[in-house]
Amino acid sequence: MAVQTVASATDSTVDLGPAAALSCRECGHRVPLGPVFACEECFGPLEIAYDFSAYDTEELRKQIEAGPANIWRYAPLLPVPADVATKPNINPGWTKLVKADNLARELGVTGGLYVKDDSGNPTHSFKDRVVAQAVEAARAFGYTTLSCSSTGNLAGAVGAAAARAGFRSCVFIPHDLEQGKIVMAAIYGGELVGIEGNYDDVNRFCSELIGDPAGEGWGFVNVNLRPYYAEGSKTLAYEICEQLGWRIPDQLVIPIASGSQLTKIDKGLQELIKLGLVEDKPYKIFGAQAEGCSPVSVAYKEGHDVVRPQKPNTIAKSLAIGNPADGPYVLDIARRTGGAVEDVTDEQVVDAIKLLARTEGIFAETAGGVTVGVTKKLIENGLIDPAKSVVVLNTGDGLKTLDAVAGTGLTATIRPNLESFREAGLA
Amino acid sequence: MAVQTVASATDSTVDLGPAAALSCRECGHRVPLGPVFACEECFGPLEIAYDFSAYDTEELRKQIEAGPANIWRYAPLLPVPADVATKPNINPGWTKLVKADNLARELGVTGGLYVKDDSGNPTHSFKDRVVAQAVEAARAFGYTTLSCSSTGNLAGAVGAAAARAGFRSCVFIPHDLEQGKIVMAAIYGGELVGIEGNYDDVNRFCSELIGDPAGEGWGFVNVNLRPYYAEGSKTLAYEICEQLGWRIPDQLVIPIASGSQLTKIDKGLQELIKLGLVEDKPYKIFGAQAEGCSPVSVAYKEGHDVVRPQKPNTIAKSLAIGNPADGPYVLDIARRTGGAVEDVTDEQVVDAIKLLARTEGIFAETAGGVTVGVTKKLIENGLIDPAKSVVVLNTGDGLKTLDAVAGTGLTATIRPNLESFREAGLA
């Protein structure tokens, strides 16, 4: 099937479960399911429109609770065939929702503080959730190669999922990436192509490839498969609510890179309400950025509806998108729900990584430092109510961003005897 | 409570669930539960003796299946109080049992090949299972500091668990460890003490500290808490069988460091049989070592009952114990069950890491390269029957041993245009 950037031809025979069509987020124009991502009418982003009308709430709840311990327990709510759990895939999700009582004490939260710890996914970041969706879309559209541009988590997630699911993979990265990151992406044995240029050059090249016959049969997980891929983030909302006993938390703190994750979590919560799986109650969504890449936070604070692009300069590289596509939607959601968007300095990010590790034994990626740091700041400035429940997302693993905390070291060095031990004051 | 190396005084009031006493593995001498690890009669290792007599098989199965998605679903079979799941702990386990169909095809296995992937644990190694048990024992005995000597996985597991469970931690490591490993251990904020000396010096110092008043109130997870700690490995047997639909696999391939994990998995399987939770059927246990540290493998092949110590020299550092305490028990089990002990070269370890990543999208630690490599070798030499089911353990995460596969890199480097892409033969 040829790659298309704008919907026109489609394949109405694909079975992606409850996914009924693609619908433009801006103008509502609907097109049949296909490997397209931009509206032919207004160039707005296409999203999945579902038909959930056949579901009985209690039947659905029972089906989910009896499902597998991964995202496929929510297959009835995702653009995947009903038998998805039997197909080879990386099967992410159902990660721990940690009741963070020690951290709550430090931050003065009395209403219940939870960390949704997505470092428990197969390649240790939330990207496994979205890539697993893209795999099923790629299968439905007959693609044979999975691809993406990446500087980190996404490369590993695509490589691993393609290996398991039986796709060829071809991942494009800047050629001068750190050796550790290259190993993490290369180990899965797919094509790993270094591009002589920076990340912008890599992206530009990928866009060229999508429009060329050479890209035929290629699913770029976050480009031509983006409407499907993005839905993976909804599963974070589903899991959080189910793990809380089918309740929506009062407040959620979510990192912002492109902003897609935050908007899809909101979409997931709205779906659960409409389906009757959770009580309809107010909730506040807070977006978290690093100061060195804070276009949405700046727009929020200045009261703008549009997001002015920034040139990123932060240690939180997995969030370093200077021109976030879903920025305006994030602003809408923060304002609609009574939340906010806030940012923290790199120093606060490092402090927050250490705080989370010291209190809860969770070693987060820099993105987790951003959300924990922002949570602390929002409590201090009164925007988060500590008497109500808070869920903070950790979307990645500290082992992947060791450089950010490289200063952490030995607390003492002693000779191997008790005298030296006592001298060091350790007894 | 003072630290003891040999049982005499004990605390008969501790509530550790079904754990009834400590029993010597050599002479069967029983002593009450306490922080002791060596028999006062013969200096043999003490193990937990249970009272499972009150259990109804089907009630127990239902209770387990309704339990939490971590090792505490097996609380009725572990030395922990019945309400353990409500206490702060790291809650490891219930990791994925991956049906490895791609790897099976490569290795010619037709009877079902599975990878038990313990990289999904909180600090990404099986050590979280054993440390979580030690935490509950430490709590029962009134300890306030958790400690260990370590050069890797154990340091992180102890640091994380102590942070969550509210213990002080003090971990001893050789002072000249690689910076990355120091960061992984230091991030949890406990005391991390570098000892001027090698790993043997660290261990010798720890033994001194246990016998000194300065060590009062200290639980060394793998020394004075070892009988409790070691039981954590049983949960691997429980999970594998439950995840296979309460069936024992025909063949298991398990790495050997001290040999404790292998012996406890065998103990777990025997318990499941006695409890009626699985059918009593033959199974074969295979031990896996790296050639550069293969004392048990050498003893097995030479037909010895005793294990001659070796000086380790292998990239599989998490298995590099030259004088494995449970070596003789491993030999017994391999022979009793009709299994074997085998070893592979470091080159084969690296090849096996890449094979597993390329076929199943699982990036294993060197220890996982050892088990996969040994599985391949045992199939080739006819000791593993490919027509019967095989479960291979991956006990750790490739992100922690990146150096071992540092040669893995880009498959191509191109300029950011289609012409260069075509020249590289990627289309």
Of B250, B232, B248, nearest to B79 by C-alpha is B232
For residue A411, pLDDT over 60 is answered with yes
Backbone angles phi, psi at B407, to 5 degrees: -75, -15
d(CA A360, CA B166): 9
Do A361 and B161 count as a contact with CB atoms less than 8 A apart? yes
Are residues B354 and A187, on separate chains, in Cβ contact within 8 Å? yes
Burial group, residue A381, by CB count within 10 angstroms (0-12, 13-18, 19+): exposed
Q: Which chain B residues contact residue A91 at CB under 8 A? A: 96
Q: What is the pLDDT of residue B64?
A: 98
Q: What percent of chain A has pLDDT over 70?
A: 97
Strand partners, A290: A293, A344
- Identify all chain B residues contacting A152, using CB atoms and an 8 Å cutoff: none
Give the separation between CA B426 and CA B2, rounded to whole angstroms.
67
Query: Within an 8 Å CB–CB cutoff, is residue A187 touching chain B?
Result: yes
Confidence of residue B8 (pLDDT cuts 50, 70, 90): very low
Nearest to B86 by CA among B98, B96, B99, B75: B75
pLDDT tens-digit readout, A380-398:
999 999 999 999 999 999 9
- Name the token pair of B275: 């409890």
Report chain B residues whose CB lies below 8 A from the CB of A193: 410-414, 424, 426
d(CA B158, CA A191): 38
The two tokens of residue A309 are 């692009």
Given this model, what pLDDT does residue B2 score? Answer: 39
Whether the CB of B68 is below 8 Å from some CB of chain A: the reply is: no
The reply to whether residue B414 touches residue A170, judged by beta carbons under 8 angstroms, is no
Question: DSSP code of B181?
Answer: H
Contact residues on chain B for A411, CB-CB shorter than 8 A: 186, 190-193
User: pLDDT-based confidence at B9, cuts 50/70/90?
Assistant: very low
> Which pLDDT value is given to residue B32?
96
Nearest Cβ partner for B426 among A162, A166, A193: A193
Measured CA to CA, the distance from residue B4 to residue B2 in angstroms comes to 6
Q: Which two tokens stand for residue A124?
A: 């240790």
Which of A134-148, A193-207, A215-229 shows the lowest per-residue confidence on average (mean pLDDT)?
A193-207
Measure the CA–CA gap between A91 and A71, rounded to whole angstroms: 7
CATH says A19-54+127-229 is which class?
A: alpha beta
Dihedral of alpha carbons B208, B214, B217, B221, sign: negative
Mean pLDDT of A355-368: 97
Cβ–Cβ under 8 Å, residues A108 and A376: no
Q: How many CB atoms lie within 10 A of CB A153?
A: 28
**Integer Cα distance of B356 and B398 in angstroms:** 11
The amino acid occupying position A47 is E
Query: How many whole angstroms separate alpha carbon B33 and alpha carbon B61?
Result: 27
pLDDT score recorded for residue A12: 56
pLDDT band at B3 (very low <50, low <70, confident <90, very high): very low
Report yes or no for ipTM above 0.90.
yes
Give the C-alpha separation, B386 to B403, whole Å.
32
- Measured CA to CA, the distance from residue A377 to residue A372 in angstroms comes to 9
Rounded to the nearest angstrom, the gap between the alpha carbon of residue B410 and the centroid of all alpha carbons in its chain is 33
**Residue A377: which H helix or E strand, with range?**
helix A366-380
A374: helix, strand or coil = helix
Yes or no, beta carbons of B413 and A193 under 8 Å apart? yes
Q: How do residues B376-409 score in pLDDT, each as one tens digit?
A: 999 999 999 999 999 999 999 999 999 999 988 9
What gap in Å lies between CA B255 and CA A340, rounded to an integer?
50
3-state DSSP assignment of residue A226: helix
Say if B387 is an interface residue toward chain A (CB within 8 Å). Answer: no
Rg (CA), chain B: 22
Contact B164 A360 (CB under 8 A): yes
State how far residue A194 is from chain B, nearest Cα, in angstroms: 4
The nearest CA of chain B is from the CA of A232 a distance in Å of: 19
- Give tens-digit pLDDT for B406-426: 988 999 999 999 999 999 988
* CATH architecture observed for domain B97-124+231-405: 3-Layer(aba) Sandwich (3.40)
Question: What's the half-sphere exposure (Cβ side, CA atoms, 13 Å) at A87?
Answer: 21
* Euclidean distance between CA atoms B253 and B261, whole angstroms: 11
Q: What value does the mean pLDDT take over residues B265-290?
A: 98
Quickly count: other Cβ atoms within 10 Å of residue A347's Cβ.
11
Question: CB neighbours (10 Å) of residue B388?
Answer: 15
Cβ of B400 and A399 within 8 Å? yes
**Interface contact flag, B187 A405, Cβ < 8 Å:** yes
Which tokens go with A20? 């009924």
Predicted local confidence at residue A8, as pLDDT? 39
Work out the mean pLDDT of chain A and round it to a whole number.
94
Do B307 and B296 form a contact (C-beta atoms < 8 A)? yes
* Chain center to CA of B282: 23
CB contact under 8 A, B402 and A180: yes
User: Could you give the CA distance from residue B356 to residue B360 in angstroms, rounded to a whole number?
Assistant: 6
Residue A252 region by backbone torsions, left for phi larger than 0, else alpha for psi between -120 and 50, else beta: beta
* Set of chain A residues whose Cβ sits within 8 Å of the Cβ of B160: 357, 361-363
Our CA dihedral for A18, A20, A26, A31, rounded to 10 degrees, sits at 160
Domain(s) of CATH 3.40.50.1100: residues in chain B = 19-51+126-229, 97-124+231-405
Question: Which tokens belong to B228?
Answer: 């409790």
Which among A23, A33, A146, A30 has a CA at the least distance from the CA of A80?
A33
Backbone angles phi, psi at B66, to 5 degrees: -90, 0
A96 touches B at CB < 8 Å? yes
When the pLDDT of each residue in chain B is averaged and rounded to a whole number, the result is 94
Q: Which of B127, B187, B210, B403 to mutate to test the interface with A (most CBs of A within 10 A)?
A: B187
pLDDT at residue A124 is higher than 60: yes
- Beta-sheet strands, E only, within B69-112: 97-99
- The mean pLDDT of A281-310, rounded to a whole number, is 97
Q: Does B416 touch chain A (CB under 8 A)?
A: yes
pLDDT at res. A6: 41
Structure confidence at residue B80 as a pLDDT band (50, 70, 90): very high
Task: State whether B409 and A183 contact (CB < 8 Å).
Answer: yes
- Contact status, residue B53 vs residue B18, Cβ threshold 8 Å: no
pLDDT tens digits for range A63-116: 999 999 999 999 999 999 999 999 999 999 999 999 999 999 999 999 999 999
The alpha carbon of residue B260 and the mean position of all alpha carbons in its chain are separated, in whole angstroms, by 8
Please write the tens of the pLDDT for every residue from A17-53: 999 999 999 999 999 999 999 999 999 999 999 999 9
What are the structure tokens assigned to A383, written together?
């925007």
Q: Over 90: is that where the pLDDT of B73 sits?
A: yes
- pLDDT computed for residue A44 by the predictor: 94
Distance CA A296, CA A292 (A): 12
Instruction: Give residue B12's pLDDT.
Output: 56
Looking at per-residue pLDDT, the higher value among A406 and A238 belongs to A238
Q: Residue B265 is which amino acid?
A: I
Residues of chain B above pLDDT 90, percent: 90
Cβ distance B357 to A163 less than 8 Å, yes or no, reads yes
B217 Cβ neighbours under 8 A, 6+ residues apart: B1, B142, B143, B144, B145
Give B241's contacts (C-beta < 8 A, 6+ positions apart). Answer: B247, B248, B249, B269, B272, B277, B278
**Joined tokens for residue A366:** 């820099």
* Segment 237-296 of chain A within 8 Å of chain B by CB: none
Contact of B303 with chain A, judged by CB distance below 8 Å, is answered with: no
Beta carbons within 8 Å of A176's beta carbon, 6+ residues apart: A194
Is A174 an interface residue toward B (CB < 8 Å)?
no
Scan residues 352-371 of A and list those with Cβ closer than 8 Å to B. 353-354, 357-363
Which of A91-100, A172-181, B120-129 shows the lowest mean pLDDT across its residues? Answer: A172-181
Task: Summarize the confidence of residues A317-328 as an average pLDDT.
Answer: 94
Strands across the sheet with B390-394, in order? B97-99, B113-117, B390-394, B251-255, B284-290, B340-344
Number of Cβ within 10 Å of residue A65's Cβ equals 10
Rounded to 5 degrees, what angle do the CA atoms B46, B47, B52 make? 145
Q: How far is CA A186 from the centre of its chain?
A: 22
All residues of chain A having their beta carbon less than 8 Å from the beta carbon of residue B170 are 426
Q: What per-residue confidence (pLDDT) applies to A7?
A: 40
Q: Is B168 on the interface with A (CB under 8 A)?
A: no
The answer to whether the beta carbons of residues B117 and B125 sit under 8 Å apart is no
Residues of A in contact with B400 (CB under 8 A): 399
Q: Which one-letter amino acid corresponds to residue A118?
A: D
Q: Which of B231, B237, B260 is nearest to B33 (CA)?
A: B231
**The listed CATH number (3.40.47.10, 3.40.50.1100, 1.10.1200.10, 2.40.160.40) that belongs to domain B19-51+126-229:** 3.40.50.1100
- Residue A4, pLDDT > 60, answer no
Q: How many CB pairs under 8 A join A and B?
A: 232
Phi, psi of B169 (to 5 degrees): -125, 150
Q: Give chain A positions within 8 Å (CB) of B166.
A: 102
Nearest to B398 by CA among B132, B136, B124, B93: B124
Residue B27 near chain A (CB below 8 Å): no
pLDDT at B310: 95
Write phi, then psi, for A329 (nearest 5 degrees): -65, -35
Mean pLDDT of B188-206: 92
Task: For A211, name the nearest residue in chain B, comparing CA atoms only.
Answer: B418
CA-based nearest residue in chain A for residue B103: A164
Burial of A412 (0-12, 13-18, 19+ CB in 10 A): middle
d(CA B158, CA A310): 41
Q: Which fold has domain A97-124+233-405?
A: Rossmann fold (3.40.50)
CB B342 within 8 A of CB B383: yes
Of A201, A402, A410, the CB nearest to B194: A410
Domain with CATH 3.40.50.1100 in chain A: 19-54+127-229, 97-124+233-405
pLDDT in tens, B335-366: 999 999 999 999 999 999 999 999 999 999 99
Q: Would you call B387 exposed, middle or buried from its count of C-beta atoms within 10 A (0-12, 13-18, 19+)?
A: exposed
Q: Which sign, positive or negative, has the C-alpha torsion B314, B318, B321, B325?
A: negative
More confident residue, B177 or A333: A333
Question: What type of residue sits at position A127?
Answer: K
Residue B269 reports pLDDT greater than 90: yes
In the predicted structure, residue A1 carries a pLDDT above the cut 90: no
Contact A397 B398 (CB under 8 A): no
Across the range A368-390, mean pLDDT stands at 98
Q: What is the mean pLDDT of residues B63-85?
A: 97
For the CA atoms of B295, B301, B303, B309, what is the dihedral angle to 10 degrees? -10
Asked if the model's pLDDT at residue A249 lies above 80, the reply is yes
